[in-house]
Structures are given as C-alpha cells and as structure tokens.
Structure 1
Amino acid sequence: MQPSRGCISLADELNLVGSSCRGTFNNTTDSNLYRSNLARLFSQKLYNEGGNSNYNKSSYGEDPEKVYGLYQCRGDVTKQTCQSCINSTIGDTLNYCNESTTAILWYDECVMRYSDRPFSFTFESRPALGRSNGININASDLVTVKKAFNQSFSKLIAELATSSELKFETVSENLSSSFTLYTLGQCIPDLSTEDCRACLNSAAQLVEYEKRSSRYLYPSCGVGFNLMNSSADEPITPVQAPTSSGDDSGNGKENKTWIPVVVTVSAVATVGLLGFFAWRVHIKHRKNEEEKANSQVIRLLRLRDGIGNNDNTYEGDQNQWIHGSRICYGRIIFCQIRRFQFRSFTSRDYKWEKEQ
C-alpha cells in the first residue's frame, strides 16, 4: 500500500517484515479520536518506556475509543534502536492499517500490536508470518543441516522458556570450518513457560530449514535461523575423495569439469560481495553528506493539543530535508526515523524549531 496522498516518503531505516490489520470501526466509535489515541499511546507513553525497557504495554483513552498497545523489541537491540522502532510504527500503522481497530506489525528490530480490546497473553497462532531468503541449501547438506537445526532449536527452546524476563535467546553452532548456524527465539514476557514452549515448538516446525535463512512469527513468539558461510567453495558436509580404480578416465573427466565450475562460483560470489559492499559504502557516504549539508536541521515540536494544529508557524527553508516527522495535508504524525521535504505546503500550518 502506498503512503497517503500528500506524504513524501523516503526509504525506511528500519525493516518492516510484515503486518496484519483486522477489525473495522463501528457506528459507536469515533475513528478520528481512536487514531489520535493510538498516536498518543505510542508517541508518548510507550515511546518513553522504550528508553527503559525492551517490552511494555499500556492503554490510552476511554471506551469506546480506548486503545490497548504493546511493543517488544528484540532482546539484543539498544534502547535507542528500540525507541526508533516504536516511533516508526506510528506512521506505518496509519499507512497500512488506517481503517483497522486491531493490528500487528513485525520489524526486524521489534514487534508492535494495538487493539480496541485487552490482550490475552496466551499462545496465539493467528495471524502468523513466515519469511525465507529464497536461497536453497545444497541437497547433499540437508541431512546435516536438519540435524543441527533440531539440536540448536531444542537447546534454544529449553533455555528460552525458563530464561530471564526478556524471554530472548540466541544459539550458534559451527557445522564446519566455514559454516555457522545461528538460531534466535523470543516470547512475549507475559507468556507462561508452558505457552512459550508450545509457541516456539510450533514456530520451529514451520521455518524452512532447506533455505539459508528463514523465520516464522506469531503474535506470541517468533523464531528464526541464519546459515552463514565464510567460504563460497566449501560444502557443509565434507566430500570424501573418490577411491582409485583401474580406469582413471572417468575421474579425469570429472576433475576437468569440477575445477572451472568452482572457479566460476567463487568469482561470481566475490564480485557480488564486492559490489554489495561498494553499494553500502556509497549509500553510507551519501547519507553522511546529506546530514552534513543539513546545517539547520529542524524537528517537529510535540503538539500538546492533538496530531494537527493550524495555528502554528514554520520558519526555515522549505526545500530543506526534514528529520523527525511524516507530513501530510493538514496532519502531522510523529515519525522520527523518516526524512521528508516540504513541497507546496503553506507555512502557517506547522510549528517547528531548530534542532538543539
């Protein structure tokens, strides 16, 4: 779904993996007030808590426009990243789930949920989301990977279900000198030990272990793995050298075919990696240059009287990149991780101040 008309959106800094939007507004609910309560809940109460904890839940407003919300950041992200992820959900919610009373948004860094009803902290299997990177593991390695996969997830689930309040664990296992299997799992902290274990076991059965990377996400928990290879040429399962026989013609032909293939794969992988890193360096350099050029970066003041206010003023260059907000016709939505540019907006509609 494209951003609302009037919004000028640039690339996200956080990765939205997927979302699920459900429920519609009835005749007794003021949809505008519900959205306003939702924005206040995440931009104020939950955003502030993101600097203290990787998980929290709260509510805002009065029935029937009362909103219940929670966030859970991945157990290994910083508090700053956690707050950025919470902040990102506000704009994405209005983009993807603007007409819904209940939603869940999964990011690489966090998961966000809101609803017009209190949450039930039991194992929930719907909605669910599965993602894989599309690269298959060699057929000859599937047995080895499947065995390692089962061992890693068994260890992870045993540790995670009874772990600390974060209910987050990672496990790494070396499969060979070049291959390492990384597994990750996390449960909602309010989930019981039994429900956490059941949720993780169910999700682990649905990841695609024949892929190099896969994850499966429920509202209550999520699991994933990544098979990393530091050498493009080495198989996971060592291949034994063929035994010598009286007729060497077949072996000679096989060797002549194998060597060019290995060189080609290695060359392609090397060129691909070099191209990827060159692109990343270019993007980082361009971003740094943009930020240096913005010597008068301005940010949106937190409005005390609602999402939009037509009595405010803006002072500054209207061609300047704006850090800290999503701008739409007549509306301002807190979204600090995005960058936008004024285009044909009247200055009297917005209130800004220079970055301190």
Structure 2
Amino acid sequence: MSIMRFLLSFMLLLLFLFTPTNSQTPISLNTFCNNSTKKPLTTSYKTNVNKVLQWMNTISSTGQESNLTSIGSNKNDHNDTVYGNYDCRGDIPAHFCNFCVNSAVKEISQTCTNGTSAIIFYDMCILRYSNKNFFGKINLSPSFNLTGPKKIKDSRDFAKAEGLMKDLIRKTTDANRMWATSVFDWSDTEKRYGLVQCAGDLDNNGCKECLKELIDRVAECCGTSVMWGIVAPSCGVRFDDKMFFQVSSEQPGSSSSPNPAKQEGSSNKKTLTIILVSVLMAVALLICCVFYSWRRNNRLSQGESTLSTTPLAFHGHVLRDDSLNGDLPIIPLIVLQQSTDYFSESTKLGQGGFGSVYKGTLPDGTEIAAKRLSETSGQGLEEFKNEVIFIAKLQHRNLVKLLGCCFEQNEKILVYEYMQNSSLDFHLFNSGNHDKLDWSVRLNIINGIARGLLYLHEDSRLRVIHRDMKASNVLLDDEMNPKISDFGLARRFEKGQSQTETKRVMGTYGYMAPEYAMAGLFSVKSDVFSFGVLILEIVYGKRNGEFFLSEHRQTLLLYTWKLWGEGKSWEFVDPIQRKSYIESEVMKCVHIGLLCVQEDAADRPTMSTIVLMLGSDTMVLPKPKKPAFSVGRMFNDEDSTSKSYTDNSVNELTITSFIPR
C-alpha cells in the first residue's frame, strides 16, 4: 500500500513538473453540411472525400508548407474532384494543430456522411471540403458570432475596441501577414486582447477585404458585449478582456504564415520534452490503473459494498471514463472561465454544500449551468463521479441533460443545460414567485417527476435509486417542465435486487423514508416516499420540515393525514390555487401522496402504479395508512440562502434549510 502511494505520488510530481501548463483540448463549435438531395453521391466522389480527409490527417503532422489539396478528375463530363483545406489558429504549436485537425476529421467523417461540401469550426482550427474550387476566393458564409456574458457599461467602449481592431488589421495586412495577435493597453490597470487571421489560400488583398467585411458586421451582432468575435471560412476576428491566445517568443503578428507548422521550429530539446512527457504520462496512467485494480480487489476481498463504476483515469488534464463510451464532451477550463466571467458572483446561480453553480454561455451561444465542485467538499469527488457516470448514460425528457464536464487544474466542473426557471423550491416556497405555479402547472410538474422516476427505476438501461429527491433537485425549463437533477447520491441496483443497506445515511431530513433514516435500508420505495412528500408540498405550497416548526407542531405529512380523516384536505390547499384548482384532481394527488408516505415500505405503490393512478380518472385507490413521522432539522447557516440551483448538502446529510428563499 505504502509503495503504491509513493510511486503514484512520484509520478504525479513528475507530471506536474514536465506537463506544459498551456495544454488545452480542442472543442467543436459548429459544423455545416451541404448534403446531396438531388442525387446520391458517386462512389468515386465519396472515395475522394475520404482521401482528402486522410491527406489532412497526414499533412498536418508533417509540418509541410501546403495546407490545401484537390483530388479527382473532370474527364468525360464526370466531375468527382474534391477540394479541401485546413487552417489552424496562428498562435498554437504544430503538434496541437495536428491534434485539432485529427479531431475535426473524425467528427466531420461521422457527421457529414453524404455531404457534397462541409465545413467544421473548432476553437483552434477550421477544416472544409467542397465539390467546387474555393481556393483563393473570399467565403464569408457560413459564419457565426462569439459573445461573452459581460456587457459593456459605456457605448464608447465598443467604438474604442473597434478602432483598436481596425488598427491591428491595417498593420497586419500592410506587413503582408495573414494573422496577428495584440495586447492593448485599455487603461492604466486593464489590458485587452485581439486576434485576426485569414485562411491560407487568400492573397493579401483578399485577406484585407475579408477582415474589413467582418469588422463591419460586429456592431450589429455583438456591439453590447465586452468579448466578441466573428468566424467565417476565410477569416476571423476576436476581441476579449481575458488572454485567450498563446504568446510565443516572437513579437505577436511577426509570422506571415496562417499555419503553425510554418512557424514552429523542430528543436531537439522540444522534441525530447514531448517524448519524455508522453512516456511519463503513459507510465502514470498504467500505475493509476494498477493501483485502482489492486485497491478494488482488496475492498471486494474484505466484503465491502461499493458502487459498481468504471475508474476515472487521468490523461493530462482530460477526464476520461471508458464507461461513457466517448459520449460526454470534455470542455476546456478556459472556455468555462470565459463563459462565466471567471466564475464571478454576478453569474452565480446558487450555493450548496458541494460547491457553487454558475450561469454561462458557450461560444456557440448555448446557455449552461456550471456546477463547480468545492475543493473543501468531503463527498465531492464521489458525487462528481456519480453524476458523470449516471447522467451521461441516462436520457429522458424529465432528467436534466449533462452537456459535458471539466477536470483540469484541480477543478471538477459539471456542465448542465441551463434551466431558465431555476428550481422548484425557488417558486414553491417563496410567496413572491407563486404566480407561475397555477394548478395546471403544478399537476404537470407532479406528472413529469413521476415519469422521470419511473424511467430511473424501471425503464432505463441502469436501475437507479436517486436517494435525494426534493424540491431543490427538480429544475424547471422555460415552459415549467420538471427535470430531475443532482445524481451525486444515486445508487445503481442490479437486476433482481430489491433492497440494500448502507452504514452511511445520505439524504435530506424531511424527505427521507423512515427505514432509510433509521436503519440505512433503501430501495425504489425510498424514492417513492420522497416523491410522496414532494406531492404534498406541491399541492399545499408548504415545506415539510418548515411546517413542523409552524403553529401546527406537526409534520406536513401527519397534518395532511389528520385533515384527510376529517374530510377537510381541500381546505388547506395553497390559496394561490383557489381560482384554478380542480377539487377532484387535488384530492387524488393528496390521496396518492399519502399512499407514498406510508410507514411500511411494502405498503407504498411503485412508480409504475403511481403513473397509472395519476393518469386515470376511474381507478379505485386503496385507503392509505398512517404516514411515518418524518421531520426536518434546524439549520442556522446563513450561507444556506441562495437564489436557485440550491443543494444544501453537508457531508453525510443533506439538511433542509428553514430559511425562506
């Protein structure tokens, strides 16, 4: 054990010392395919497309001058010629250019399977092919814009930025160069950064005309943003308040080459360093795998119950998990930093025990919620791995979608689709936000959560117990449709397994089933209990734990049971609902909620039965038994108050906050 730890620590130290700090991962921004609709592509044309792509793969690794080619013939009125080229951003090294081109070739081969022409934009390279000769011609379509979340405070700032970039374009083209970067002195304390670049097939006049056309478009598309840019096939411009390019030993813009293969030397020292780093990383990866295998076998030999997952391995700064089958994109840290204004307070959506959640906008315009794991979180790494493993494999309209993750520079970040209406608790337990929750919306939310849980329990390729179902873990999209989130505590059940036991009870007081809270036993019926609490909270607009501290001195469950016995359940309905609710639907939901929170797990219905109950107006429901006594616990941490996306998780337990949000 001690020897393995020493070897692992030693190799990680070597990696830290020798791995370049500016390593990044190419990220795909946009792909455009012009597919053949009039007639199918000929076999010879498809073959030539593959040859052109293979040529790009090969030539980008050799450092040769040419970055464009044509393959095919025009004989006998049979044109199967394919024209292709690639361009890499001028500031990146040749080996990374090759990495980016290889990634682009692989993606465009899978995406544009019947394309007469196609173009793919990565953050560091562009690749395109066509059945028409585009060499030397200015091509501004298709294009797309890049904007950051931070807005300018003074309209004169954009005019100033535009002037700086026009000056950079003039100096670049006057010097007959095809790309340049510049660091601008914005003020006494601030810098700004700019990059302009043209495709390698343009001459100087074409480059000047292309860049001028793009810069004239900026005011219309991006004039209110601090960070902006436009990318087209023949040229691109970008302006930012954060450093986004790599600074070489040469003066920025001194190279006239559009490709890094023409600017980077092949010194023996640099080659030796790359080889050394590659060997060390391979050895470190092998040691990590051996160590994990030994540790896992040791655990199993001792009879320890563990979550069945594939180990996470580290390749540079990239998180890889073989169980994901490459389905989950890795988003570079610099992209997330720029998308969230470097995780500023102004972009924070919420704060929880496992970290903070920030709103951001990716370069392609996709809005995201980035869950940044706290470095001090005791359960954080396990939660992170759980969410990556489970959500990447689960796809349902009522589950939040995981867009990617980042594991770089000690950061662990999960990137979700952004939910415009934040979390259910943000609306449900805040009187000022009740206006969006009329009865039809609440009933839709109940049905959506039920369908999501049914998928987890019975219909997904994994059988998953969520273990932390609560209002703050239900997010709402722009149409108020619910999506279950936060799978950090989820556990997978094997086929035929009905119940398991844990010594570490993790969940939320007020939502936890009694057999789980007291004995550590959990099953699908544990989630059913939590769902029952949620139904009653949605109907009545009261938080279970908070209700205990009110004048009633009972949990919401027991008070609802009391009203049910007196035939007065409808009298306690949230006053906001009085104008919109249908009494029969409300009473059915209360009935189902009471069935779900019965003390004996065997008495509770399954999610498939619950979905049938919710969808039927004629089904006779069984009489519920007295619910379990479930109560919240006082939590005085002032920092628990949040705007949305809240997860008040603390070590072993997720504590329900009684502070109004």
TM-score, with normalisation over the residues of structure 2? 0.32
Change (3 A) 1:285 1:59: farther
1:214–1:224: 8 Å Cα contact kept in structure 2? Answer: yes
Q: Does residue 220 of structure 2 align to residue 223 of structure 1?
A: no
Matched letter for residue 234 of structure 2: S
What are the Cα deviations for residues 81-118 of structure 1, in whole angstroms up to 9, with x where unaligned? 11112111222213332221111111111111101122
Provide the C-alpha distance between the structure 2 equivalents of 1:286 and 1:154, rounded to a whole number of angstroms: 37
Provide the C-alpha distance between the structure 2 equivalents of 1:147 and 1:201, rounded to a whole number of angstroms: 15
Aligned counterparts, 1:64-143, within 5 A: 64-137=79-152, 139=153, 141-143=154-156
Aligned counterparts, 1:229-244, within 5 A: none
Provide the C-alpha distance between the structure 2 equivalents of 1:101 and 1:267, rounded to a whole number of angstroms: 42
Q: Give the structure 2 partner of residue 183 of structure 1.
A: 194
Gaps of 5+ in 1: 1-11, 230-263, 288-356
Q: In the alignment, which of 165, 184, 198 is matched to residue 209 of structure 2?
A: 198
* Partner SS for 1:205: helix
Residue 216 (structure 1) shift:
0.6
Q: Give the structure 1 partner of residue 172 of structure 2.
A: 160
Matched letter for residue 237 of structure 2: V
Provide the C-alpha distance between the structure 2 equivalents of 1:159 and 1:223, rounded to a whole number of angstroms: 14
What are the Cα deviations for residues 38-75 of structure 1, in whole angstroms up to 9, with x where unaligned? 23322235532443158610122445333210001111
Further displaced range: 188-197 or 54-63: 54-63
2:33–2:118: 8 Å Cα contact kept in structure 1? Answer: yes
Q: Give the structure 2 partner of residue 17 of structure 1.
A: 29
Q: Give the structure 2 partner of residue 328 of structure 1.
A: none
Aligned counterparts, 1:45-60, within 5 A: 47-53=58-64, 56-60=67-71
* Partner SS for 2:67: strand
Change (3 A) 1:211 1:51: farther
Q: In the alignment, which of 162, 181, 184 is matched to residue 150 of structure 1?
A: 162
User: RMSD value over aligned CA atoms?
Assistant: 3.6
What are the Cα deviations for residues 308-346 of structure 1, in whole angstroms up to 9, with x where unaligned? xxxxxxxxxxxxxxxxxxxxxxxxxxxxxxxxxxxxxxx
Provide the C-alpha distance between the structure 2 equivalents of 1:185 and 1:161, rounded to a whole number of angstroms: 10
Q: Give the structure 2 partner of residue 326 of structure 1.
A: none
Residue 271 (structure 1) shift:
7.1
Q: Give the structure 2 partner of residue 252 of structure 1.
A: none
Residue 26 (structure 1) shift:
5.3
Which is strand-richer, 1 or 2?
A: 1
Q: Give the structure 1 partner of residue 225 of structure 2.
A: 211
Q: Does residue 50 of structure 2 align to residue 39 of structure 1?
A: yes
Provide the C-alpha distance between the structure 1 equivalents of 2:347 and 2:209, rounded to a whole number of angstroms: 45
1:54–1:79: 8 Å Cα contact kept in structure 2? Answer: no
What are the Cα deviations for residues 140-173 of structure 1, in whole angstroms up to 9, with x where unaligned? x331x223312311221112223455x0111221
Residue 79 (structure 1) shift:
0.7
2:135–2:201: 8 Å Cα contact kept in structure 1? Answer: no
Provide the C-alpha distance between the structure 1 equivalents of 2:148 and 2:66, rounded to a whole number of angstroms: 28
Provide the C-alpha distance between the structure 1 equivalents of 2:374 and 2:180, rounded to a whole number of angstroms: 29
Residue 76 (structure 1) shift:
0.8
What are the Cα deviations for residues 260-312 of structure 1, in whole angstroms up to 9, with x where unaligned? xxxx958969978994896998446799xxxxxxxxxxxxxxxxxxxxxxxxx
1:104–1:114: 8 Å Cα contact kept in structure 2? Answer: yes
Provide the C-alpha distance between the structure 2 equivalents of 1:55 and 1:85, rounded to a whole number of angstroms: 17
* Partner SS for 2:241: strand
Change (3 A) 1:276 1:169: farther
Change (3 A) 1:198 1:104: same
1:29–1:65: 8 Å Cα contact kept in structure 2? Answer: no
Residue 176 (structure 1) shift:
2.5
Provide the C-alpha distance between the structure 2 equivalents of 1:277 and 1:120, rounded to a whole number of angstroms: 50
Provide the C-alpha distance between the structure 2 equivalents of 1:135 and 1:106, rounded to a whole number of angstroms: 24
TM-score, with normalisation over the residues of structure 1? 0.57
Residue 212 (structure 1) shift:
2.7
Matched letter for residue 32 of structure 2: S
Which is helix-richer, 1 or 2?
A: 2
Residue 200 (structure 1) shift:
0.8
Matched letter for residue 188 of structure 1: A
Matched letter for residue 171 of structure 2: E
Matched letter for residue 225 of structure 1: F
Provide the C-alpha distance between the structure 2 equivalents of 1:38 and 1:284, rounded to a whole number of angstroms: 39
Gaps of 5+ in 2: 1-23, 244-343, 350-354, 359-370, 376-383, 385-404, 413-661
Change (3 A) 1:265 1:215: same
Change (3 A) 1:61 1:190: closer
